[in-house]
Amino acid sequence: MLLYSKQKRNQNPKGNRFLVSINVLGSAGPIRFVVKEDETVANVMDCALRCYAREGRLPVLGSDINDFVLYSPYSAAEELKPWERIGSRGWRNFVLCKKKPESGTPSASSSRKASWSWRAWLNKSIGITNTIPSH
């Protein structure tokens, strides 16, 4: 009888909860928080983006969940649908990525400019100057 009462007490009437770990592509480490098993993927992505911004992580991502895709590291070929339940497949680890632009590829000059500004920021933050020693 004692065993039965312990099992009854451990059941959560609000639904099962579990810890998810979401790695954001380009960020230093995962974001971890507790979610309900029946939460939608869209709600979990929204919560992850809010946690990411609250912690002041880099790179700055934005808050529109329509710009992102959630994958499982076990099945990277298929993305999770926003209306899907987060606990439906039994996974606890995920990867959050920005969606690729749908309007085609950007021009070469704009991608070159973007990569230059990124390199300039990195060099400036590390303290590297753009001097090339002459021989």
Q: Is residue 113 part of a domain?
A: yes
Cβ neighbours of 52 (radius 10 Å):
21
Q: What is the CATH number of the domain that holds 110?
A: 3.10.20.90
Is residue 2 included in any domain, yes or no? no
Q: Is residue 131 part of a domain?
A: no
Encode pLDDT of 31-52 as tens digits. 999 999 999 999 999 999 999 9
Place of tokens 């590390």: 126
Residues ≥6 apart with Cβ < 8 Å to 35: 17, 18, 20, 43, 44, 47, 86
H/E stretch holding 119 = helix 108-126
The answer, as to whether pTM is greater than 0.75, is no
Q: Residue 103: pLDDT above 90?
A: no
Q: What domain range is 32 assigned to? A: 12-126
75 part of a folded domain? yes
